[in-house]
Chain A
Amino acid sequence: MNVAVPPPKENMGQPVARLEARSKVTGEARYSADFPLNNLAHGVLVTSAIAAGSIKSLDLEAARAVPGVIEIFTQENVKGLKDPKFGQGNSSSVQPFNGPKIWHDEQMLALVVANTHEAAEDAAYRLRASYDETKPSATFDSPGSQTLDAVGNTESHKEDPKLGDVEAALATAPVKIDVKYSTPTQHHNPIELFSTTASWQDDKLTIYEPSQFVYGYKNGVAEQLGVDPANVRVVSPLIGGAFGSKGPMTPRTAVVAYAARALNRPIRCVVSRMQGFTTATYRAETRHHIRMGATPDGRIVAYSHEGWEVTSRPDNYVVGGTETTSLVYAYGAVGTRVQIVKADRNTPGYMRSPPETPYMYALESAMDEMAAALKMDPVEFRRVNDTQKEPIKGRPYTSRSLMTCYDQAAEAFGWKKRNPAVGSMRDGDWLIGMGCSTAIYPTNIGPAAVRVRLSPKGEVRIETAAHEIGTGIRTVAGQMAAEPLGLDMKMVTVETGDTDFPPAPVAGGSNSTASVCSAVLVASNRIRDRLFRAAVTSNDGPLAGRNPGDLGMKGGMIVAADGASVKLADLFGQMGSGVIEEYVEHTPEGMPPESMAKLYSGQSSFKRGSQGDKIRFAFGAEFVEVRIHSRTREIRIPRIVGAFAGGRIMNPRTARSQLMGGMIWGIGAGLLEATEIDPRAARYVNRDLAEYMVAVNADVNQLEVILVPEEDHEVNEAGVKGVGELGNVGTPAAIQAAVFHATGKRIRDLPIRLDDLLNV
């Protein structure tokens, strides 16, 4: 055991290494663009240099003249693709190849297909487009942008939560703050580039593409192409980072499939890093106006939160994080409103903790500001407003260990040593600041199906279309079978990411462990029951006549408490079975029965954490120390401590990795990440990993993850809450608070950069 392999505490599984760890670090692991195909052609995208208007003409002559070019697909020769349906599984309602209209910067104009990637790229450079250009609206406040209420104009934000009369409560509150925050455009930038490989055998299509929802892609691409989904297979065994960007299918997939059919040849299209900024989704910039009122002893009597989010012209995307923030504390009154601002941009999409990251940043920053206004310790201020029931409808949390997280993290961090006076802590030329924040994420769960097969040798094979995006879903699913079946993890194989396997929900919303492990648990228990039944009913076996409830499984044997046992192979022989297999469809309690059938047709649905008579959320608390040079003001983070409670932790090693990765992302979100938009042209300018900055190793110093034991039998069958998205929720607000503590400056617009901290 070492720091990376934490010993399990109460209600935690073993810190098993990832099943695919060795293959990943040796380069043996095969990602979607790695599958060798015979006679493969290569596609390169050409994208627009304007954000609004239409294509006047495309000059293909020079491009066609490049040796090796096979065909150039454009709106002229791509015919009959159906427009995608925005929302369920698709990133946008626009298929750019269906017309000349330009909706956003660097929109797909053409797919150049050649015998080599190099020839396709060369030709792509030579393709010339001319446009009828109109003046684009880039973002908030841009002329021509359009502001709409999210309620009534979006699918997912159905109501603005409210409680009582927030204006009246604000008017009479003894202590008040009125503050505005903003978060910038951000891009996921998974290291694995976006790609589509399409291959037809007669009327059967196989797509190799990194995907967080293979059944969604299967049905979505079939719909756009007008083919039977039964003839489409999507393969995505390992995904090299996704963070939401590979959740909804983008319009490229159908175009590459179309081109492969037209040429009767498999095509691989790998999207460049730069084009990944505009042909996939992103986290849109947000703005927040928070007004909060409190009593002098720190009770929040009023919380008003208005949010604004940028979306595209064709699609009303919204994250609407007030659904979560309105539940966090024991507010006396709540007023919220979310609005969307339509601009000439591509449609935003999910990005790690989509609603919570921006909205909790605003709420938790305001919490720190209110604590300062009250002259209260920020942890104690949260304690005063902690609650086991959400304030709006009074529904209880199935479990909520927020203050335990605060106490454990504060202890490990040494919060007591913090001098609360602003600007009071210093080490030589470096100002020191300390801040904290709450992290929260809903426990979502969806229907999932798995096939679990046990062989007489004790080998277990699990098949599910769940998505290994790096979280360790294969490993925890394997553990969920290995534990009840009493088998070593060496005996377990888990196959994922293929529509030939039973369907699993989109890998988003931190649902996968709960959804998939619940199904695996049911299947494994059924297999166990079948074996136990066979063992006790076999006429002359050593366990004949016993009570199945007294049996267990260990090391490839069925064992009784007194040591009597039968080997699996012998029992299989008696049963006359070659293998035992269970195909389990698991629909969480409280979900509509048709949700399983919908999953097969590519519609993933969740029972969300905020739904139901009891609400289900995972919590955490993060503490950050910043150091800021007294002259040059660069901001460094020597340490972060986070404590998190997520119900049953299937695997402390992979859970820690997820949370740590989230906290590291939070460093980037707090201090570095921003996609810059040139407001004149509504175009992104810093489209690479040198200029779009994320935290590098040197930015990450001491980082401690505390897994707080928590038992919750109500949350779902598996008792797990999921921790994939929890880790990055609190970090930016904790950084903001720490920067204030060090400098006395409230920098409310992310990212916080030295520009704003200079002594001028």
Chain B
Amino acid sequence: MRPFVYERATSPEDAVRAARGKVTANLPPVQAPGQFIAGGTNMTDYMKLDVMRPEILVDVNGIDRNRYGRIEEFDGGIRFGHLVRMAEAEEHPAVKAKYPVIAQSLQLAASQQIRNMATLGGNVLQRTRCDYFREATWACNKREPGSGCSAMDGINRRHALLGTSDQCIASYPGDFAQALIALDALVETQGPKGNRKIRFADLHVEPGNTPNVETVLEPGELITFITVPSGAWTRRSMYLKIRDRQSYEFAVTSTAVALDLDGDTVRDVRIALGGVATRPWRSREAEDALKGKPLTPETASAAADAAFAGAKPRKYNAFKIPLGKETVIRALLETKNMEA
């Protein structure tokens, strides 16, 4: 690890000010010299790999937990402070009962020890596990723009097939974000330019020609709250994660599904896909294929086909098209059988 300055912030304003002291023009936030740290489970990992080299780390754990470390139910939704630990959210009775997709997406992530540390604000900003990104001696457009992409023709079983570009196929690894994008979550931030609200669906961006830009956040902008609106679909929802081993592995494929049924007919449905895309991925195509139709193995299969219609496989990840489809079909059918 390289030397860095460590500061503790006691308020979001404080944190933003401290991180901003080191803002350099034209650098995306992940490469900015000033970085926030909460649970530290992702940041310290990448610092040890010499992939992230912050000059100043602003510890946000000292920010008022009564306000920013709480889960609050309100009329029309639930609001998570950014300092809520993953383990706290997955065990919260209202989350478990009313938003099972959220509880499951957290429960199936990482390990208990990591979930005890990692915060929700940091979680959604987790960076890719692409092996060529993680090892600093490979060419990587995300790490060093313009250097090339080693994954494109490399060992790319874990890489994305949706939202890719000819610059980058690194997959977004997280689980929680799939639940959030499915449920139309909203993110509140505090930054150098003040406070703003961002649709969760707009938070992450596809790599395009700038794979080093991963979100619309500005350097020094801190996520403060995540709000999830409730709906007829939130209770009948699930997160299905397929992986080689039973625990402690990122999704090979996954899906967040939320259903509102009228008898057998789909009134509303939310489908997000993990392990297959460069960013949290909502499949409106799959949803549109189902809405107004009875949910059967056939319609679920058609929806799954729609979800992967735009997939661009590489050498080792083509199996994720049939697997991703089966994941969606299985999740839809299992969700249908849940009690609403």
Could you list which residues of chain A lie within 8 angstroms of chain B, going by C-beta atoms?
Answer: 49, 118, 121-122, 125, 274, 429, 629, 631-634, 636, 671-672, 676-678, 680, 685-687, 690-691, 693, 695-699, 753-755, 758-760
In the bound complex, do residue B155 and residue A685 qualify as a contact, i.e. CB atoms below 8 Å apart?
yes
In the bound complex, do residue A632 and residue B246 qualify as a contact, i.e. CB atoms below 8 Å apart?
no
In the bound complex, do residue A698 and residue B247 qualify as a contact, i.e. CB atoms below 8 Å apart?
yes
Q: What's the Cα separation between A118 and B250 when bound, in Å?
A: 30
Residues of B within 8 A of A49 (CB): 137
**What 3 pairs between A and B have smallest CB-CB spacing?**
A49-B137, A698-B246, A698-B247
Does B288 belong to the interface (CB within 8 Å)?
A: no
Q: What's the Cα separation between A211 and B273 when bound, in Å?
A: 47
In the bound complex, do residue B155 and residue A698 qualify as a contact, i.e. CB atoms below 8 Å apart?
no
Does B6 belong to the interface (CB within 8 Å)?
A: no
Residues of A within 8 A of B249 (CB): 690, 693
Residue from the list A125, A693, A759, A760 in contact with B50, Cβ < 8 A:
A125
In the bound complex, do residue A693 and residue B330 qualify as a contact, i.e. CB atoms below 8 Å apart?
no
In the bound complex, do residue B319 and residue A685 qualify as a contact, i.e. CB atoms below 8 Å apart?
no
Q: Known contacts A680-B154, A685-B131, A691-B129; is A121 also within 8 Å of B1 by CB?
A: yes
Q: How far is the CB of A120 from chain B (nearest CB, A)?
A: 11
Q: What's the Cα separation between A407 and B319 when bound, in Å?
A: 40
Interface flags for B117-146 (1: CB within 8 Å of A; 0: not) read 000000000000101100101000000000
Q: Is the interface of A mostly helix, strand, loop or mixed?
A: loop
Residues of B within 8 A of A671 (CB): 244-245
Least CB separation from B50: chain A residue: A125
In the bound complex, do residue B137 and residue A118 qualify as a contact, i.e. CB atoms below 8 Å apart?
no
Least CB separation from A634: chain B residue: B242
In the bound complex, do residue A678 and residue B155 qualify as a contact, i.e. CB atoms below 8 Å apart?
yes
Does B3 belong to the interface (CB within 8 Å)?
A: yes
Does B323 belong to the interface (CB within 8 Å)?
A: yes
- 9 contacting pairs across A/B (C-beta < 8 A): A122-B3, A632-B326, A634-B242, A671-B245, A672-B245, A690-B129, A755-B157, A758-B319, A759-B326
Q: How far is the CB of A379 from chain B (nearest CB, A)?
A: 29
In the bound complex, do residue A687 and residue B246 qualify as a contact, i.e. CB atoms below 8 Å apart?
no
In the bound complex, do residue A758 and residue B326 qualify as a contact, i.e. CB atoms below 8 Å apart?
yes
Residues of A within 8 A of B1 (CB): 118, 121-122
In the bound complex, do residue B327 and residue A632 qualify as a contact, i.e. CB atoms below 8 Å apart?
yes
Residues of B within 8 A of A687 (CB): 135
Does B322 belong to the interface (CB within 8 Å)?
A: yes
Interface residues of B, CB < 8 Å — how many? 33
In the bound complex, do residue A685 and residue B135 qualify as a contact, i.e. CB atoms below 8 Å apart?
yes
Residue from the list A691, A695, A696, A699 in contact with B131, Cβ < 8 A:
A691
Q: What's the Cα separation between A753 and B244 when bound, in Å?
A: 7
Interface flags for B233-277 (1: CB within 8 Å of A; 0: not) read 000000010111111111011000000000000000000000000
Least CB separation from B333: chain A residue: A631
Q: Known contacts A633-B323, A685-B155, A758-B323; is A693 also within 8 Å of B132 by CB?
A: no
Q: How far is the CB of B5 from chain A (nearest CB, A)?
A: 14
In the bound complex, do residue A678 and residue B247 qualify as a contact, i.e. CB atoms below 8 Å apart?
no
In the bound complex, do residue B153 and residue A680 qualify as a contact, i.e. CB atoms below 8 Å apart?
yes
Does B193 belong to the interface (CB within 8 Å)?
A: no
Least CB separation from B319: chain A residue: A755
Residues of B within 8 A of A672 (CB): 244-245
Residues of A within 8 A of B129 (CB): 690-691
Q: What's the Cα separation between A82 and B252 when bound, in Å?
A: 48
Q: What's the Cα separation between A691 and B3 when bound, in Å?
A: 27
Task: Known A-B contacts: A672-B245, A678-B154, A685-B131. Give 8 more (CB < 8 A).
Answer: A118-B3, A632-B330, A671-B244, A685-B154, A690-B248, A693-B245, A696-B245, A759-B322
Q: How far is the CB of B151 from chain A (nearest CB, A)?
A: 9
Q: What's the Cα separation between A602 and B273 when bound, in Å?
A: 57
In chain B, residues 208-247, which have Cβ atoms closer than 8 Å to a Cβ of chain A? 240, 242-247
Q: How far is the CB of A579 from chain B (nearest CB, A)?
A: 48
Q: What's the Cα separation between A348 and B2 when bound, in Å?
A: 33
Does B95 belong to the interface (CB within 8 Å)?
A: no
Residues of B within 8 A of A758 (CB): 319, 322-323, 326
For the A-B complex, the count of residue pairs with Cβ-Cβ distances under 8 Å equals: 88
In the bound complex, do residue A632 and residue B135 qualify as a contact, i.e. CB atoms below 8 Å apart?
no
In the bound complex, do residue A631 and residue B329 qualify as a contact, i.e. CB atoms below 8 Å apart?
yes
Residues of A within 8 A of B242 (CB): 632, 634, 754
Q: How far is the CB of A308 from chain B (nearest CB, A)?
A: 22
Q: What's the Cα separation between A677 and B131 when bound, in Å?
A: 11
In the bound complex, do residue A686 and residue B326 qualify as a contact, i.e. CB atoms below 8 Å apart?
no
Q: What's the Cα separation between A676 and B135 when bound, in Å?
A: 14
Q: How far is the CB of B171 from chain A (nearest CB, A)?
A: 13
Q: How far is the CB of B92 from chain A (nearest CB, A)?
A: 23
Q: Which residue, of A631, A632, A687, A697, has the highest number of chain B Cβ atoms within 10 A?
A: A632
Residues of B within 8 A of A634 (CB): 242-244
Least CB separation from A123: chain B residue: B2
Q: What's the Cα separation between A510 and B141 when bound, in Å?
A: 48
Q: Known contacts A755-B157, A755-B319; is A697 also within 8 Å of B247 by CB?
A: yes
In the bound complex, do residue B3 and residue A699 qualify as a contact, i.e. CB atoms below 8 Å apart?
no
Residues of B within 8 A of A699 (CB): 245-247
Q: How far is the CB of B188 from chain A (nearest CB, A)?
A: 31
Least CB separation from A66: chain B residue: B3
In the bound complex, do residue A685 and residue B132 qualify as a contact, i.e. CB atoms below 8 Å apart?
yes
Q: What's the Cα separation between A380 and B137 when bound, in Å?
A: 54
Q: What's the Cα separation between A429 and B247 when bound, in Å?
A: 20
Residues of B within 8 A of A677 (CB): 155
Residues of A within 8 A of B245 (CB): 671-672, 693, 695-696, 698-699
Q: Which residue, of B245, B248, B249, B252, has the highest number of chain A Cβ atoms within 10 A?
A: B245
Q: What's the Cα separation between A685 and B137 when bound, in Å?
A: 11
In the bound complex, do residue B323 and residue A754 qualify as a contact, i.e. CB atoms below 8 Å apart?
yes
In chain B, residues 307-322, which have Cβ atoms closer than 8 Å to a Cβ of chain A? 319, 322
Least CB separation from A694: chain B residue: B245
Interface flags for B2-40 (1: CB within 8 Å of A; 0: not) read 110000000000000000000000000000000000000
Q: Which residue, of A678, A685, A691, A760, has the highest number of chain B Cβ atoms within 10 A?
A: A685
In the bound complex, do residue B2 and residue A125 qualify as a contact, i.e. CB atoms below 8 Å apart?
yes
In the bound complex, do residue A696 and residue B319 qualify as a contact, i.e. CB atoms below 8 Å apart?
no
Q: How far is the CB of B300 from chain A (nearest CB, A)?
A: 10
Q: How far is the CB of A64 from chain B (nearest CB, A)?
A: 16
Q: What's the Cα separation between A671 and B244 when bound, in Å?
A: 8
Q: What's the Cα separation between A759 and B301 when bound, in Å?
A: 13
Q: What's the Cα separation between A125 and B52 when bound, in Å?
A: 12
Least CB separation from B150: chain A residue: A678
Q: What's the Cα separation between A122 and B53 when bound, in Å?
A: 11
Q: What's the Cα separation between A632 and B2 when bound, in Å?
A: 43
Least CB separation from B136: chain A residue: A125
In the bound complex, do residue B246 and residue A696 qualify as a contact, i.e. CB atoms below 8 Å apart?
yes
Residues of B within 8 A of A125 (CB): 2, 50
Least CB separation from A122: chain B residue: B2
Residues of A within 8 A of B322 (CB): 758-760
Residues of A within 8 A of B2 (CB): 122, 125
Residue from the list B3, B248, B326, B327 in contact with A696, Cβ < 8 A:
B248
Q: Known contacts A671-B245, A685-B132, A690-B129; is A631 also within 8 Å of B330 by CB?
A: yes
Q: What's the Cα separation between A754 and B132 when bound, in Å?
A: 23
Q: What's the Cα separation between A698 and B111 when bound, in Å?
A: 11
Residues of B within 8 A of A629 (CB): 330
In the bound complex, do residue B323 and residue A693 qualify as a contact, i.e. CB atoms below 8 Å apart?
no
Q: What's the Cα separation between A105 and B27 when bound, in Å?
A: 33
Q: What's the Cα separation between A429 and B240 when bound, in Å?
A: 15
In the bound complex, do residue A636 and residue B246 qualify as a contact, i.e. CB atoms below 8 Å apart?
yes
Least CB separation from B245: chain A residue: A699
Residues of B within 8 A of A697 (CB): 247
Residues of A within 8 A of B3 (CB): 118, 122
Q: How far is the CB of A122 from chain B (nearest CB, A)?
A: 5
Least CB separation from B317: chain A residue: A755
In the bound complex, do residue A754 and residue B252 qualify as a contact, i.e. CB atoms below 8 Å apart?
yes
Q: Which residue, of B244, B250, B319, has the highest number of chain A Cβ atoms within 10 A?
A: B244
Residues of A within 8 A of B250 (CB): 690
Least CB separation from B158: chain A residue: A691
Q: What's the Cα separation between A289 and B33 when bound, in Å?
A: 55
Q: Known contacts A691-B129, A758-B323; is A676 also within 8 Å of B246 by CB?
A: no
Q: How far is the CB of B129 from chain A (nearest CB, A)?
A: 7
Residues of A within 8 A of B132 (CB): 685
